[in-house]
């Protein structure tokens, strides 16, 4: 293949640094694109359906779209490389943005969900960027390199929600439907990310790693990598359950804020709250990556559950306070960051290279599918017991992860 050089002519350290830089830049751009969907999805769903109870279907659609495409994209990566899989995700997201704007213009709620699901398919590619950062990484830096790419989403993820207000002004000036102006910025960012991956992500990290793995096997010098399926299954559980906790509470926050904030301040309140939440998700990920490398993956996963617990207690006790909701959402993002960075690193190192794309795809599918179900249930729970009650229900997946950690503590790889 044209971008796979012989192992002797490749500076692996330089190739890995270049890969991480390119992936990080791509995460900045796709973070801008996805930030608008996080902020606007629930509001658009409530507006077009006329029922707040259906607002959770927006997050469900985006996570379902990611769930349905995570495994196909992982298989595509295994066959054609990370670059091909990432750009396929970009194209899906671009299509989804066009469908969402069309749905808003025609007031078609089902079409809105289709568009959001396509954006979710694009996000499945974005999620795989964190695994692409580990393809050439050494064990000592795996958590750190993965976390660096996750961290890069901070810039786009924080900027994206803050573009809601200016996006509305720009969109209104050219006749776009209400609540869709920010998708202009999303579209431009996805186009730039597509061009970046096509032109600059060379050599392809997964194809190069596969080439090096074949060279090792043929030389019979290195021992085969160990496969630890029980540890890998726990890592999948930790990532999936943590995503459910985060997504279920986050998805209902814009709707809840619309009840406790003045009507003319809802868009600003939602934008600021989601922006700070996204900062929590990504801003300190390098810290969690370093901690995962130094004190162990399992310890950082449990740290994430402790942060979740603090968030959910605050959300339950101070649900009527905008400041309380904001603090809870920041802690919610931090908990997700710790558990996702450490869980993803644990999954990677518990799995031989030949099996990694398949298991990584399964992990993302499980994560997003569970979050889709959780988001739908969150809308129902919000209607029955309110935001504070929803926070208490979100303790269930936290408890599952803690129980799983106890079950595999003897099998953990680096704690």
Q: Which parts of the chain have pLDDT scores under 70?
A: 1-10, 35-39, 53, 56, 157, 219-224, 410-415
Predicted local distance difference test score (pLDDT) of residue 53: 67
Predicted local distance difference test score (pLDDT) of residue 262: 85
Predicted local distance difference test score (pLDDT) of residue 169: 86
Predicted local distance difference test score (pLDDT) of residue 223: 59
Phi-psi category of residue 107: left, alpha or beta, with phi > 0 → left and psi -120 to 50 → alpha: left
Q: Is the peptide bond before 126 cis (omega within 30 degrees of 0)?
A: no
In angstroms, rounded to a whole number, what is the distance separating the alpha carbons of residues 127 and 131? 8
Residue whose C-alpha is closest to residue 239's, from 287, 304, 283: 304
- Tens digit of each residue's pLDDT (9 = 90 or more) over 288-301: 999 998 999 999 99
CB contact at 8 A, 102 and 10: no
Predicted local distance difference test score (pLDDT) of residue 175: 87
Predicted local distance difference test score (pLDDT) of residue 220: 56
Please identify which residue in the block is written with the tokens 């959001």: 116
Q: Where are the domains of the chain?
A: 10-206+224-408
In angstroms, rounded to a whole number, what is the distance separating the alpha carbons of residues 368 and 119? 13
- Tens digit of each residue's pLDDT (9 = 90 or more) over 158-201: 777 777 778 888 888 888 888 788 888 889 999 999 999 999 99
Cα distances (Å, whole numbers) of residue 312 to 86, 327, 381, 390? 34, 10, 15, 9
Burial of 326 (0-12, 13-18, 19+ CB in 10 A): buried
Angle in degrees, 0-180, between the axes of helices 229-260 and 266-282, rounded to the nearest 10: 160
Q: What is the largest CA-CA distance in the chain?
A: 68
How many residues in total does the chain contain?
415
Q: Residue 384: count other Cβ atoms within 10 Å of its Cβ.
A: 11
- Return the sign of the alpha-carbon dihedral for residues 216, 217, 219, 222: positive
What's the CATH code, domain 10-206+224-408? Answer: 1.20.1250.20
Predicted local distance difference test score (pLDDT) of residue 36: 67
Between CA 413 and CA 345, with CA 139 as vertex, the angle to 5 degrees is 60
Q: Decide: pTM greater than 0.75.
A: yes
Interacting residues of 206 by C-beta distance below 8 A, sequence separation 6+: 77, 78, 81, 82, 132, 135, 357
């Amino acid at each position: 293949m044209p971008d796979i050089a012989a192992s002797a002519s490749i500076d692996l350290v330089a190739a890995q640094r270049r890969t991480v830089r390119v992936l990080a830049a791509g995460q900045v751009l796709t973070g801008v694109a996805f930030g608008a969907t996080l902020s606007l999805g629930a509001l658009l769903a409530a507006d077009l359906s006329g029922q707040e109870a259906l607002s959770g279907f927006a997050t469900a659609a985006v996570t379902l779209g990611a769930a349905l495409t995570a495994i196909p994209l992982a298989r595509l990566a295994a066959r054609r490389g990370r670059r091909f899989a990432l750009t396929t995700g970009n194209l899906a997201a671009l299509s989804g943005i066009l469908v969402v704007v069309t749905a808003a213009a025609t007031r078609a709620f089902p079409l809105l969900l289709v568009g959001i699901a396509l954006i979710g398919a694009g996000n499945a590619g974005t999620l795989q960027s964190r695994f692409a950062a580990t393809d050439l990484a050494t064990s000592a830096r795996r958590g750190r390199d993965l976390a660096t790419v996750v961290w890069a989403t901070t810039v786009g993820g924080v900027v994206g929600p803050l573009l809601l207000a200016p996006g509305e002004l720009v969109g209104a000036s050219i006749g776009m439907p209400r609540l869709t102006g920010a998708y202009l910025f999303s579209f431009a960012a996805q186009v730039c990310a597509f061009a970046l991956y096509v032109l600059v992500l060379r050599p392809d990290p997964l194809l190069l790693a596969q080439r090096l793995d074949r060279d090792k096997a043929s030389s019979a010098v290195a021992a085969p990598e160990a496969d630890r399926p029980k540890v890998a299954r726990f890592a999948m559980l930790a990532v999936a359950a943590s995503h459910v906790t985060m997504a279920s509470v986050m998805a209902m926050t814009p709707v809840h804020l619309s009840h406790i904030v003045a009507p003319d301040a809802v868009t600003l309140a939602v934008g600021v709250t989601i922006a700070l939440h996204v900062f929590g998700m990504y801003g300190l990920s390098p810290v969690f990556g370093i901690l995962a490398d130094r004190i162990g993956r399992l310890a950082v996963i449990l740290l994430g559950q402790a942060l979740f617990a603090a968030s959910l207690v605050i959300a339950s006790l101070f649900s009527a306070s905008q400041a309380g909701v904001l603090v809870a959402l920041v802690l919610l993002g931090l908990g997700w960051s710790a558990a996702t960075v450490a869980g993803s690193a644990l999954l990677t190192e518990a799995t031989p290279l030949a099996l990694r794309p398949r298991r990584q795809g399964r992990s993302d599918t499980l994560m997003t599918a569970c979050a889709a179900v959780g988001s739908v249930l969150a809308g129902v729970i919000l209607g029955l017991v309110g935001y504070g009650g929803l926070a208490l229900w979100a303790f269930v997946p936290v408890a599952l992860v803690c129980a799983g950690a106890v079950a595999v503590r003897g099998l953990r790889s680096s704690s």
